[in-house]
Amino acid sequence: MPPDAARRSDRSRLAILAAARDLVVEVGYPRVSIEAIARRAGVGKQTIYRWWPSKGAVVFDAVRALSEDEAGVITLPDTGDLEADLKTVLRATAVEFTDPTLSALLRALYAEIAVDPELATLYQEKVERPLTEAKLDRLRSAQRAGQFDPDADLALCLDFLYAPFTQRWLSRTGPLDDAYADALVEATLRAFAPTARG
């Protein structure tokens, strides 16, 4: 007998997500326990176990709840100037990653994903894919506008734009500032410029 979602208490759901979010920020993901989340949320442990399979899943939903307002389709800016648009987006992402709350939550999530294939799949489908689609759309638009090599491997191109960014953030290798964002965009565009091949 699976839990009956219709009877689910929204009050508890929100309290749990908020408690999880706050605790990750306050004491760090590994020291967050389900007991502590329940205690903080004023909720029975079973209410957590009823609706989430693991601590990671709760944090996952807590992260999603943070960006819930963006609900629906995500679109990247398209002013016609690809380079400017990409810089805008990457700089904004840098700001997000600098926010301590979001940053702590996302670190927790990435750590768990690295080690839990199921959560990885979930993240892939619910978060990554829609974002990737939006980014691909912008690149395709650039291709149509002749600002981009029509034969380029767009997935690879996205890896170039985002992976170094994410890695720097995750491993704290260097600062995530506007200069780095700009350099990333410029180098990527050099690699995939319309004239780059033949």
**How far is residue 42's CA from residue 62's CA, in Å, rounded to a whole number?**
17
Q: What is the closest distance, in whole angstroms, from the C-beta atom of residue 11 to a second copy in the complex? A: 22
> Does residue number 118 form part of the binding site for DNA (CB under 7 A)?
no
Query: In this chain, which of 3, 30, 150, 175 binds a second copy, going by CB under 8 A?
Result: 30
Q: What is the closest distance, in whole angstroms, from the C-beta atom of residue 149 to DNA in the complex? A: 48
Q: Considering only 37-45, 79-87, 150-158, 188-196, which stretch makes contact with DNA by CB under 7 A?
A: 37-45
Q: Residue 45 binds which entry of a second copy, DNA, none, with Cβ cut-offs from 5 to 8 Å by kind? A: DNA
Other beta carbons within 10 Å of 139: 21
Number of residues that bind DNA (CB under 7 A): 28
188 Ramachandran zone, left/alpha/beta (phi>0; psi -120 to 50): alpha
| Short-list 50, 57, 32, 25, CA closest to 123 | 57
> Does residue number 36 form part of the binding site for DNA (CB under 7 A)?
yes
Spatial contact of 24 and 104, defined as CB atoms under 8 Å apart: yes
**How far is residue 142's CA from residue 12's CA, in Å, rounded to a whole number?**
46
**The two three-digit tokens of residue 105, written as one number:** 């939550």
Contacts of DNA in 1-20 (CB under 7 A): 1, 3-4, 6-9, 11-13, 15
Q: Considering only 41-49, 74-82, 140-148, 190-198, which stretch makes contact with a second copy by CB under 8 A?
A: 190-198
> Does residue number 66 form part of the binding site for DNA (CB under 7 A)?
no
Q: Considering only 26-34, 75-83, 89-97, 183-191, which stretch makes contact with DNA by CB under 7 A?
A: 26-34
**How far is residue 21's CA from residue 60's CA, in Å, rounded to a whole number?**
10
The percent of the chain in helix, strand and coil, each rounded to the nearest 5, is 75, 0, 25
> Does residue number 131 form part of the binding site for a second copy (CB under 8 A)?
no
Q: Considering only 39-47, 76-84, 149-157, 188-196, which stretch makes contact with DNA by CB under 7 A?
A: 39-47
What DSSP character marks residue 99?
S
